[in-house]
Structure 1
Amino acid sequence: MRLILIRHGETQSNVDRLLDTAHPGAPLTQNGLRQAHDLAEAIAHEDIDALFVSTLTRAQQTAQPLAERRGLEATVITGVHEIAAGVEEMSPDWRAYVGMLESWSPENLDAKLQDGESAREFMSRFDAAIATIEAQGHERVAVISHGAALRVWALAQDPSVAGHTSGPLHNTEWIILNGSTAGGWRVERWGQQDLTAPTHTA
């Protein structure tokens, strides 16, 4: 399956640098709504058979122009929402949250912020959502989700790309993976970076 993981458009929480991970979350700003319309054009070259979105408002708003352009239904699916920030919710200081995410490893799956999620909890629900999508038999699927969730999940599937994915995944940028849950996933694109392009050394 070709899996296109898209980050939602801009919200005021993004602008203000606030950790907004809870439901229903902030809606898109006017700029975010423009980004959602631009996304439908920017991704026009990609075939998409089905479109899924997280349970948060901003993801559903981002999906609307793409769904309308493709004649698809944006199906809300549980499990692909943002990684819970717990006691850090709506904090302007991201250090504890990011530090926790960066600490996750196969040997550290149960660490979490107070009232937040562990790697084991997050991966379990995101994996289950992707497996549910796979079971429907689509060949090319887009999922509109959230920055931290997409980065953490995609890197867990293909750790080899870690050295090629510096910088954030900006609003309405996307990651492309090919493969399956059973056979493994390979990251082919991360934001503006085409990871299938040959590299040359001097």
Structure 2
Amino acid sequence: MRLILIRHGQTPSNVAHLLDTGVPGPGLTELGLDQAAALPGALADENIEVLFVSTLVRTHLTAAPLASARGLEPVVRDGLREVVAGDLEMLSDHESVKTYLETVFGWSAGRTELRMPGGEDGTEFLGRYDAVIDEAAATGAGTVALVSHGAAIRAWVAARAANVDVEWAAEHALSNTGIVTLEGAPSDGWKVVTWEGQAVDLPEEPEDSGPTGQPLHEG
């Protein structure tokens, strides 16, 4: 199947560089609404049959123009929400963001026992995200789109895609309404086809690597 992961549009917390992961969360800025409105055109060539969103308001608003254009009713799943920041919620200082991202990419590198301070561990995060991906695959649709969150998408892709490693995901930010397209299945594994429109060509079985790259603000 074809799996399209879409980060939500810009929010006020993105502008302020805050680790804002709580439910229901903020809405979109004017730019964010414009980004959402552009999604139907950006995905015009994709035969999307099913559309999932997280429980956070920003994914609903981002998905609305696409849902309207395709006549789809978004399926809401809590498993697609952002990585819970816990004690780091609404912080923006360098050390907090660094801790957040090092924990997230630590999970992708296999250190799932790590726990976000006051939040979830890697087993919990990957388990909830995998469950939604499994549900999407079980629909039998050829192409499914999921509107989710920056850190969650990057962490899951780095953990599950054969051709994207932790270093790649850590060094490649995902813009608001940025799109990662994968092909595969839960039983066979996943391969990234494009990351924000660029083809991805990395070794099929990359060596494990630790988190690298400059801290990036997510949410």
TM-score normalised according to structure 2 size: 0.85
Mark the CA change 1:54 to 1:118 in structure 2 (over 3 Å): closer, same or farther.
same
**How far, CA to CA, are the matches of 1:64 and 1:71 in structure 2?**
10
Mark the CA change 1:99 to 1:50 in structure 2 (over 3 Å): closer, same or farther.
same
Deviates more, 1:148-157 or 1:73-82: 73-82
Letter in 1 for 2:2: R
> Could you report, residue by residue, the CA deviation over 1:6-27 in whole angstroms, capped at 9, with x for unpaired residues?
0000000000000011101111
Q: Report the equivalent of 1:36.
A: 36
Q: Tell me how far 1:105 sits from its aligned partner.
A: 5.1
Q: Report the equivalent of 2:197.
A: 192
- What is the number of residues matched between the two proteins? 197
What SS class does the counterpart of residue 177 from structure 1 fall into? strand
Mark the CA change 1:87 to 1:186 in structure 2 (over 3 Å): closer, same or farther.
same
**How far, CA to CA, are the matches of 2:91 and 2:178 in structure 1?**
24
Q: Report the equivalent of 1:73.
A: 73
Q: Tell me how far 1:155 sits from its aligned partner.
A: 1.1
Q: Which of structure 1's runs of 4+ aligned residues deviate more than 4 A?
A: none
TM-score normalised according to structure 1 size: 0.92
Runs of 5+ unmatched residues, structure 2: 202-219
Cα RMSD (Å) of the superposition? 1.7
Q: Report the equivalent of 1:178.
A: 183
Q: Equivalent of 2:125, from 117, 122, 125? A: 122
Runs of 5+ unmatched residues, structure 1: 197-202
Q: Report the equivalent of 1:87.
A: 87
Q: Equivalent of 1:161, from 131, 150, 164? A: 164
Q: Report the equivalent of 2:60.
A: 60
**How far, CA to CA, are the matches of 2:29 and 2:39 in structure 1?**
15
**How far, CA to CA, are the matches of 2:19 and 2:124 in structure 1?**
19
**How far, CA to CA, are the matches of 1:128 and 1:13 in structure 2?**
28
